[in-house]
Each structure stands twice: as structure tokens, then as C-alpha cells.
Amino acid sequence: MDIETVIEGRAFVNGELSYTEIGISEGKIVAVGGMVRGGDERIDVGTSGLILPGFVDPHVHFRDPGMTQKEDFSTGTLSAVHGGVTCVLDMPNTKPPVTDIDSLRSKKSIVRGRAYTDYGLIAAVTPGCRIGMMAPYVPGFKLFMGSTTGNILVNDDEDIAAIMEDIRITGKRLSVHAEDDSMIIKGEQENCTRDHLRDRPVEAELNAIRRLGRYSDCKINICHNTTAAGLELASSYGFTTEVTLHHLLFDVDKDTTAEYKVNPPIRDAPTRDALWNAFLKGKATMFGTDHAPHTLAEKTEDFDSAPGGIPGVETTMPMVMNMVRQQMISLSMAVNMGSANPAKAFDINKGGIAVGKDADLAIFDLRKVSEIDVKKLHSKAGHSPYGGKQAVFPDTVIIRGGIQMQDGEFCGDRIGEDICGRL
């Protein structure tokens, strides 16, 4: 096989950073070593560049179809590329929600040809849905134990048991919004994030995870964990876990406005600090941005009326890379949580620099730190609670061998493909 492109420089391979040449052909990595011959094009990233596997975001809400005034597949994936993300898993609570083969087929058709990154479409599980029929065409499924957009809440133990039997047979991973809906207070006036926390207590998260514990023989991923206790409990059952930056960084007594309203809610400082310490100790499996854009007009309504959700697909991994620059976390942790672990959890042929993997790469220069400028972000949301925070954005992003960004400038096209194919 003729090698088309060779990328050379310091690369993260087999858990180590060393000089490497990476041969690419037909969208795949075909050679990795100290010297790779051939290549119509050779890209030398220099001594300051770090060649990493492209990041995989297992949890985004691109609002397409039905709510494209907030985000659509083009703007969402364009934001992802600028954050070094080369593959996203999009959640099913759109309008209509993806709950059967017809709604899945429709959404696949709507977003096809509009993505700048590769993607997978997650389907929601509801009582009686044909999980086995959808399984070949999705990277995983989503269970909402807490209320969300659309009529897809499932919090009854009998319904969950039947769903888990079907999930077990498919071998697919089930991501869970783990908040016990029976423990969420509804109808009370909320004026700030402290009120929102009152209505969605920690115990709702912990009890939902406990109820799932009987299904430790299923592949379960607990989304957006907000507590160290939740991480420990989920891990004890063998579940994978996500953490978001908003739960790691914000707290209810400092970050009080609707900009920070999200489900599950940001917690108090002691809970946040315990989660942070657990994260630093490697207790979480992966980052999930839970990118949930709403319009600025919606987020500046009175708190009670404002929707919950925070955009983050463009800013999360650049902020994580700044943590690496500051030596708060290791490069290995950033790559594992941002790329290798989510790819492995959802059986995606990405997440590493190795022969046979998709040629997805993100190249960073840790010297190029900047402050996040909300006006320069690419989401339709037009706002972010991360404005002014330090980040290291990627210099170059490559998806299946196609250059989407180079020297910090976007130069790509809508080359994104559905990782589970057409239906």
C-alpha cells in the first residue's frame, strides 16, 4: 500500500512521547516508527509540536433536528474540530427524539454530509423499543432516569430491567443520565443555582447509580458524574464514568446565574473539591462535555424559566491541555480520558496512534496558551461560562488523513462520516 502522507515529530504512542513518523493511507494509519519511507506529503510538526490521537467526545447535544436555532450539526462539529475533537457521539433527545428505527433513519439522513468531524448517533431506550433492531447502526444507547427534552424518561425498575436484558444481548454500551426522577423536586420556584441544587440533590444521583448496580453484567456508562462518591460507586459496579469541566470547576455559591444552570446541577464547593481530587487521582474514565447549547436570549431569561445546559465541545480539551501545560495533570491522563478510553468504551476505531486506527490526529503546541474569547467560538450558542479562562487550542487537526485545521487556521470541509454507517 502506497503511503500518502507522513506526519513526523514528537507523538504520544504506547503511553510515551517520542520522535515518531506516522504513515497514512486511505484514511488509516499504516505505519508508525522511527523512519517511515514514502509519502507524497510530509508534515514536520517541529520540536514544539505534540502529536496526539484526535479526541473523542462521547456526549454532545447538537440539537439537530428540531432545535437548530440553538445548534446544528455543521456548527456543532465545526466547534468540535476547533477543540481538537475528531469524533462526537450525539445524544438522542432532539425533536423528535431518536427512539426507533424510523427516527434513527430520519436523523441519519438529515445530518449526512453536514459534519466536519466523524460522529455516531446515540439512540434513546424507552419501554418496548426495538433495541436489537437499532443496535447495528448506533455506537450505544442512552437511558434518561431524570427528566429531559422529549417523552423519553424511564425511571421504573420493571421497565429498566426489560431494557437491560435487551442491552445485554446487543453488547452495546448504555450511557445513563443517572438522576432518580422520583427524588427531583418539581414545581418550586428557582432563583439561582443553589435553588436548582436544592431541587436536584446529590442523593438523586447516588440512588440512581445504586439501582443500576444489579446490572453490572451490562456495559454501562454513567454520564456527567458530579460527586466523588458517585465515581466510587459506579466503579465498584464496573461501570465507566464521565466527568465534565463544569462540574469540576464551578460551584453554586460563586456561579449563581442561569449561565451555570445545568442538569445534573453544579454542586457546592466541598462536593466539587472532592470530585476534583478524585479526578486528579484518576478515578474517572473519560471526559464528556455534555455540550448543551441554548441561545443567549434563553440563558438570560429569569433563572426559573431558563433552560439547563452548558456548551463545551470547543473549549473542554483545550482547557485540559492547559492543565497539562500547568502540570496539573499528565499528558497520559489527558489522552486516555479524552481519546483512548471513550474510543474503547464505545468500540470506535480511533483513540490511539497505531497501525489500523483511523488517522485522526490533533497537534498542540503547549507554548501557545491563550484566553478563551467567546466571540471567536463557533457554536450558535454565542455564550460560554469559560470566557477568559486559559486554554491551548490545536494547531493542526487531521480526520482520517484529511487536514481540517493547519497552523491554527481552519482549512477543511464537511468530510465527517457516520461511524456506524447508513441505515
pLDDT digits (tens, 9 = 90+) for 195-253: 999 999 999 999 999 999 999 999 999 999 999 999 999 999 999 999 999 999 999 99
- C-alpha to C-alpha distance for 55 and 64, rounded to whole angstroms: 22
Tell me how many degrees the CA angle 319-325-329 measures, rounded to the nearest 5: 80
Instruction: Report yes or no on 196 lying in a domain.
Output: yes
Instruction: Report yes or no on 420 lying in a domain.
Output: no
- C-alpha to C-alpha distance for 124 and 143, rounded to whole angstroms: 6
Residues 66 and 180 in one domain: yes
Of residues 351 and 38, more confidently modeled: 351
- C-alpha to C-alpha distance for 184 and 204, rounded to whole angstroms: 7
Helix 269-280 × helix 228-236 angle, to 10°: 50
Average pLDDT estimate for 77-81: 98
Distances (CA, A) of 148 to 176, 211, 313, 379: 12, 19, 20, 21
| Residue 398's CATH number | 2.30.40.10
Instruction: Report yes or no on 129 lying in a domain.
Output: yes
Residues 131 and 19 in one domain: no
- C-alpha to C-alpha distance for 236 and 212, rounded to whole angstroms: 11
* Overall domain count for the chain: 2
Residues 131 and 42 in one domain: no
Residues 98 and 134 in one domain: yes
In 100-196, beta strands by DSSP E: 118-121, 123-124, 140-144, 173-177
For 142, counting Cβ atoms within 10 Å of its Cβ (0-12 exposed, 13-18 middle, 19+ buried), the class is: buried
- C-alpha to C-alpha distance for 277 and 288, rounded to whole angstroms: 18
- C-alpha to C-alpha distance for 138 and 59, rounded to whole angstroms: 14
Q: Are strands 41-44 and 5-13 parallel, antiparallel or unpaired?
A: parallel
Residues 388 and 368 in one domain: yes
Residues 25 and 58 in one domain: no
Q: What is the pLDDT of residue 311?
A: 98
- 3-state DSSP assignment of residue 238: coil
pLDDT of residue 150 exceeding 80, the answer is no
Domain boundary among 345, 369, 391: 345
Domain boundary among 345, 372, 402: 345
Q: What is the pLDDT of residue 151?
A: 76
pLDDT of residue 149 exceeding 70, the answer is no
Residues 285 and 136 in one domain: yes
Q: What is the pLDDT of residue 40?
A: 87
Instruction: Report yes or no on 421 lying in a domain.
Output: no
Report whether 295 contacts 382 (CB < 8 A): yes
Contacts of 37 (CB under 8 A, 6+ apart): 3
DSSP-derived letter for residue 183 is G
**pTM above 0.85?**
yes
Average pLDDT estimate for 108-135: 98
Distances (CA, A) of 193 to 93, 244, 264, 267: 23, 17, 11, 9
Handedness of CA 67, 175, 125, 184 (dihedral sign): negative
Q: What is the pLDDT of residue 147?
A: 78
Instruction: Report yes or no on 423 lying in a domain.
Output: no
Residues 208 and 62 in one domain: yes
Average pLDDT estimate for 45-58: 97
Residues 133 and 37 in one domain: no
Q: What is the pLDDT of residue 420?
A: 98
List the domain range (segments joined by +) for residue 334: 54-345
Domain boundary among 318, 345, 372: 345
Residues 191 and 338 in one domain: yes
pLDDT of residue 1 exceeding 90, the answer is no
| Residue 78's CATH number | 3.20.20.140
Instruction: Report yes or no on 417 lying in a domain.
Output: no
- 3-state DSSP assignment of residue 334: helix
Instruction: Report yes or no on 165 lying in a domain.
Output: yes
Instruction: Report yes or no on 418 lying in a domain.
Output: no
Residues 328 and 378 in one domain: no
Residues forming the active site = 290
Residues 35 and 181 in one domain: no
